[in-house]
C-alpha cells in the first residue's frame, strides 16, 4: 500500500475544496483503516465549500472534509476485535467521548463532547480514513457501497421519522431535500396513511414522487388546505417533520397539525426566528429537536428496513468519479439534485 493518498481538503478561506496528496492516516490501537470506495456529498459539505459564516467559525483550514462513506477495512488496530480485514463497512461520523453522563448512560448521540469527521476531525473525502472501531458499521451483502455511502443522511431521516409512532397516521413533511424525501419513504414503509411533502422546488417535488408514494405539494402554487380537504382529513396532520429550516414552513406545519400533534425538527432555521409560542401551547403540540442518528439504534433500524424492502436508491440522482468532484459539488449547489455520490475507485 502506498504511504500517501488523494484527499479533498479545505486549504484556503474561500469557496472550494482542493485535491491534494496527503499521508495515509496512521491508526491507533483502537482504530481501523478504511479504504474508501464511495462517498456522498452532504449539505454540510456545501456549507464548507461555500465557506459561509458557520464553516469559517467551525472548520479548521487544512481539514480533509466529507463524512458520508462506504469502504473496506484494510488494517486493524492491535486492540480491535469483532472486525476483519476485507470487511465492507460504513460508519458513524460522530466521534464521542466516554466521560459525559449521556455517554455513560448509553445515550451516545447526546454526548456534548461530540466531534464530527469531515467537520472537526479528518474526514472521508480521501482514499483512506482512520476511524475508531467503535464507530464502524459493517455492511451486509444486501447493501452495496452506493447505498452504504448515503446511510448517514438516511440515518437522519430514520431518526426523524421514527421519533413518533407513524402507524396509521397522517404525516406532513416540509422540505423535499434528499433527507426529507427519504423520511417520506420511511414513513410509508412503516405504515403511515397519508404522507404529504411540501417545497417550492418543482424538481425536488418531482423526485419525491419518483422515490416513494407521497403527495408532493408546491406551496408556492397550491393551498395546503385544499390538499387536506382532498385527502378527506377531518382535523389535520398527526405528525410533522420539519426538514427545511424555513420559518414559514414551520408556521404552516403548526397551523395544519391536529390538537396534540407532534413535530420532529431536523431543519435548522438561519439565525433566530420568531415563534408564536401561544399556538404551540394552545394546540398542545410536542416539539422534538433531532440531531444526527441514535447511536447505534438508528443504524440497526435502517439496515433492517433496507433488508426488508425499503428502497431509497432513486434519491441518488448523480454519480461522478472523484476526479469530477467539482461537477458533483456544482450539481448539489444548484439545488435541484437528489444525493450526489463520488466514486473513489
Catalytic positions are: 44, 47
- Rounded to whole angstroms, the Cα distance separating 36 from 149 reads 10
H helix runs in 256-319, sequence order = 277-282, 297-307
Q: Could you please report the per-residue DSSP string of 84-109?
A: -TT-EEEE--EE--S-SHHHHTT-GG
- Rounded to whole angstroms, the Cα distance separating 313 from 308 reads 14
Q: Which three cell numbers stand for residue 269?
A: 432555521
C-alpha atoms less than 13 angstroms from C-alpha of 126 in its C-beta half-sphere: 28
Q: Which residues contact 222 (CB under 8 A, 6 or more apart)?
A: none
Q: Is 317 helix (H, G, I), strand (E, B) or coil?
A: strand
Q: Which three cell numbers stand for residue 228?
A: 387536506
Residue 115's beta-bridge partner residues?
A: 95
- Rounded to whole angstroms, the Cα distance separating 161 from 236 reads 18
Is residue 132 within 8 Å of 199, Cβ to Cβ?
A: no
H helix runs in the chain, sequence order = 43-50, 53-58, 101-104, 145-148, 151-161, 178-189, 202-211, 224-230, 247-255, 277-282, 297-307, 325-334
- Rounded to whole angstroms, the Cα distance separating 138 from 125 reads 19
Amino acid at each position: 500500500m502506498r504511504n500517501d493518498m488523494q484527499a479533498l481538503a479545505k486549504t484556503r478561506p474561500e469557496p472550494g475544496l482542493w485535491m491534494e496528496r496527503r499521508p495515509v492516516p496512521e491508526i491507533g490501537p483502537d482504530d481501523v483503516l478504511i479504504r474508501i470506495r464511495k462517498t456522498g456529498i452532504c449539505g454540510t459539505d456545501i456549507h464548507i465549500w461555500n465557506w459561509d459564516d458557520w464553516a469559517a467559525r467551525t472548520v479548521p483550514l487544512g481539514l480533509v472534509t466529507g463524512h458520508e462513506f462506504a469502504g473496506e477495512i484494510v488494517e486493524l488496530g492491535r486492540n480491535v476485535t469483532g472486525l476483519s480485514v476485507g470487511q465492507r463497512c460504513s460508519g458513524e461520523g460522530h466521534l464521542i467521548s466516554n466521560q459525559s453522563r449521556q455517554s455513560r448512560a448509553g445515550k451516545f448521540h447526546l454526548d456534548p463532547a461530540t466531534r464530527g469527521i469531515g467537520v472537526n476531525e479528518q474526514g472521508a473525502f480521501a482514499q483512506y480514513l482512520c476511524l475508531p472501531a467503535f464507530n464502524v458499521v459493517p455492511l451486509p451483502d444486501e447493501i452495496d457501497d452506493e447505498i452504504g455511502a448515503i446511510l448517514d443522511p438516511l440515518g437522519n431521516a430514520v431518526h426523524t421519522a421514527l421519533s413518533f409512532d407513524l402507524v396509521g397516521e397522517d404525516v406532513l413533511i416540509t422540505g423535499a431535500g434528499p433527507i426529507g424525501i427519504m423520511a417520506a419513504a420511511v414513513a410509508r414503509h412503516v405504515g403511515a396513511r397519508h404522507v404529504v411533502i411540501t417545497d417550492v422546488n418543482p424538481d425536488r417535488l418531482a423526485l419525491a414522487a419518483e422515490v416513494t408514494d407521497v403527495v408532493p405539494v408546491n406551496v408556492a402554487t397550491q393551498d395546503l388546505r385544499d390538499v387536506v380537504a382532498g385527502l378527506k382529513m377531518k382535523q389535520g396532520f398527526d405528525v410533522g417533520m420539519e426538514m427545511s429550516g424555513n420559518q414559514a414552513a414551520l408556521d404552516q406545519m403548526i397551523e395544519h397539525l391536529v390538537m396534540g400533534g407532534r413535530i420532529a425538527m431536523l431543519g435548522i432555521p438561519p439565525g433566530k426566528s420568531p415563534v408564536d409560542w401561544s399556538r404551540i401551547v394552545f394546540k398542545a403540540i410536542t416539539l422534538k429537536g433531532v440531531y444526527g442518528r441514535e447511536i447505534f439504534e438508528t443504524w440497526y433500524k435502517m439496515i433492517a428496513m433496507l433488508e426488508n424492502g425499503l428502497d431509497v436508491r432513486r434519491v441518488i440522482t448523480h454519480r461522478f468519479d472523484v476526479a469530477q468532484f467539482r461537477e458533483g459539488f456544482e450539481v448539489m449547489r444548484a439545488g435541484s439534485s437528489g444525493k450526489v455520490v463520488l466514486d473513489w475507485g
